[in-house]
Amino acid sequence: MRGDLFVAHLAAHKCDRREALGMAAGAGAAGVLAGLGLRTTAAEASVEAPEAAPAQVPKGRFDDEMFDVQAVLRGAWDNTRFYRRGDQRGTLREVTPRKTARALRLLDDRRPVRSYQLGDRLFNGYPAFGTRPPRQYNQRLVVGGYQPPAGFEGFLQSATPSGPNQVSVHEERFASTPGSAPYGVTYQIATQLDNLNHIGVGPVFYGGHRGPQIAETWGTSRLGVEHAGPIVTRGILLDVLGVKRAQGASDVIEEARNGRPHLASTYRITIEDLEAAMRRARIRRIERGDAVLIRTGWNQLVNPKDPAGAHAPDDAEHPGHPEHQKYLRSEPGIYLREARWLAEHRPALVGADTWALEVLGNPVSGENAFPVHQELIVHYGVRIGEGIVSDGLADDGIYEFVYINTPQNATGATAGNAPPAALGQRPRRRRRR
């Protein structure tokens, strides 16, 4: 390969050192990089070739032993599991241009492609984890150019249209519930991608960053969601609910008010469950940079009256609905053993249709609070997707697809709740759910 053309390609695509090494390995350009001073170490050479089939991570060496908190506070995780201290992107580094190109090749342009909405529908009063100030979604309409109807409690900008062409306008504002704390609007609600600045171990955050050094009034000066960028990669669905239904495991399946099933409260998903879901979906391996989604059916509790997924207005105004309470009180999910096993594959993210991914209310966690979040985010740099609705994919038997997400480009924000999407094609012979 000509060196000048290779350098021009790197500049045009803004590739970092790691991506350059990977492309060089695939293009036989090691000599070019050596001439440019981009020499790779033996360790880098062992991981950079993106076309190499990744070996499956053996499950036997993972356990639920709690990490040593004091060691982490002393700096044990400052040098990240996979990358250097000071890194701000985590395993999103694995979503390279080559990875995206390979994901797009999953689609056969001779067959129809269907788009799937993976985000849950927001509505006023959406059930959210309790914090102070509270997490709330309370949208109000701004009207300009006409007189709104009686009983309207939004904001009237002006009842008079603008200009001779009679311009009217609608906008929205996000306000807290009347009488509550003034700051309720947050990206940490409904379908979301938890960012690397969201969870820490005391003052220790991912990449060796310390909370007192990065905390600003408006957000964090490092690790903000602006470093995520758009994500287009291979997605895989591990339908644990489908596996349990196929196994006839009625003891771990419950039914929501809308008649649809979900895994039982506090059910701990095991590595063996995830492997069974892979076998059922004919997924051979989890690859670096994948978006790994786990289906539990827990999202069915959010909209208890409507099987189609739309909220019922009376429930929207009463977040204390019994199924909303159940939704927030506990949830099925993975624990430390599964988190470590998944993280060693270096996925771009691990997500589920629950509000916290990890099992809650199960005695396995003892008195620890969200240790899976700490392990995945702080230790491994793996972002966590929450509230990702995968029912449509499962209904159509689609377990491998193109995953797309563009988190808010918001400086210092701790999450993005722009809903992701999937591009998939139904199998020629539809798999049974």
pLDDT tens for 209-218 read: 888 888 887 7
Provide the pLDDT for residue 285.
96
Return the CATH number at 336. Answer: 3.50.30.50
Q: How many folded domains does the chain comprise?
A: 3
Residues 159, 279, single domain; the answer is: no
Dihedral sign computed on CA atoms, order 99, 104, 108, 113: positive
Residue 423 has pLDDT above 60, yes or no: yes
Q: Which structure tokens are listed for 226? A: 């602006």
- Rounded CA gap, 425 and 116, in Å? 10
- Rounded CA gap, 152 and 303, in Å? 25
In a domain, 317, yes or no: yes
What percentage of the chain reaches a pLDDT higher than 70? 72
Residues 112, 27, single domain; the answer is: no
Q: How many residues does the chain have?
A: 433
Question: Residue 130: what are its φ and ψ, rounded to 5°?
Answer: -75, 125
DSSP state of 208: G
Residues 359, 243, single domain; the answer is: yes
In a domain, 430, yes or no: no
Residues 145, 120, single domain; the answer is: no
Residue 145 has pLDDT above 50, yes or no: yes
Residues 227, 344, single domain; the answer is: yes
Residues 361, 269, single domain; the answer is: yes
Dihedral sign computed on CA atoms, order 54, 270, 191, 218: negative
Residues 196, 106, single domain; the answer is: yes
Q: Which of 93-97, 237-241, 309-313, 385-389 has the lowest mean pLDDT?
A: 309-313
With residue 114 as reference, give the H or E element that holds it. strand 114-117
Residues 160, 34, single domain; the answer is: no
In a domain, 432, yes or no: no
In a domain, 360, yes or no: yes
Residues 307, 345, single domain; the answer is: yes
Q: Which of 292, 290, 319, 317 is nearest to 390 (CA)?
A: 292
Residues 38, 151, single domain; the answer is: no
Q: Which of 37, 163, 50, 161 is nearest to 101 (CA)?
A: 50
Residue 246 has pLDDT above 80, yes or no: yes
Residues 161, 26, single domain; the answer is: no
Q: What pairs with residue 388 in β-bridges?
A: 119
Q: Which structure tokens are listed for 286? A: 């989890």
Note down the domain range covering 158: 139-174
Residue 62, phi-psi category: left (phi > 0), alpha (psi -120 to 50), beta (remainder)? beta
* Interval 10-36 mean pLDDT: 47
Per the model's pLDDT, the better-predicted residue between 158 and 354 turns out to be 354
Residues 192, 167, single domain; the answer is: no
Per the model's pLDDT, the better-predicted residue between 427 and 146 turns out to be 427
